[in-house]
Amino acid sequence: MSERKKILILCTGNSARSQMAEGLLKHITQNRYDVYSAGTKPSIVRPEAIKVLAEIGIDISQNRSKSVDEFVNEEIDYVLTVCDNAKETCPYFPAKTRVIHHSFDDPPAVGEADEETTIEIFRRVRDEIEKYFRQAIKDKVFD
């Protein structure tokens, strides 16, 4: 039996997009892969990310924002950068690691938009990430 493939989803703050992506990919693939997320400048998990995933039955409330440095010595099969900044500052991974980039909009920072608008943007980004992963699985991107 082969070992499960490891996927690291990388963003800047590991607060919204990468956290939602981690929860979604684990859910969609029913934990077929070891999925992690991290940031180049980790901060906190945004409550809006927790809320919009809870709306579709995915609990990331126990997640924490992690630094990419925690994974530098891990054997990672795929690194998925979900923002342009993470793509530009992604640390070196061994040649066997496949780096994939797909940028998603950054939900507004606290105070940049009213609460209703912010949640709607989080939902849109969540749905875009889910659509991307469903297509990637169909296309066997991670196999």
**90: annotated active-site residue:** yes
Q: Which strands, in side-by-side order, build the sheet including 98-101?
A: 34-39, 6-11, 78-81, 98-101
**74: annotated active-site residue:** no
Helix, strand, coil percentages, rounded to 5, for the chain: 40, 15, 50
Q: Is residue 118 part of a domain?
A: yes
**134: annotated active-site residue:** no
Q: Is residue 53 part of a domain?
A: yes
Instruction: Compute the CA torsion angle 43, 45, 49, 50 (nearest 10 deg).
Output: -170
Q: Is residue 19 part of a domain?
A: yes
Q: State residue 88's pLDDT score.
A: 66
Share of the chain above pLDDT 70, in %: 92
Catalytic residue chosen out of the listed positions 7, 9, 11, 16: 11
Token output for 85: 């900044």
The tens digit of pLDDT for each residue in 43-70 reads: 999 999 999 999 999 999 999 999 999 9
| CA pair distance 117, 60, nearest whole angstrom | 22
Block residue for tokens 């939900």: 107
Q: Is residue 143 part of a domain?
A: no
Assign residue 59 the CATH number of its domain. 3.40.50.2300
* Residue-number span of the structural domain to which 53 is assigned: 6-138
pTM over 0.85: yes
Catalytic residue chosen out of the listed positions 83, 125, 129, 136: 83
**Could you tell me which residues come within 8 angstroms of residue 88 by beta carbon, excluding any fewer than 6 positions away?**
none
Number of structural domains the chain divides into: 1
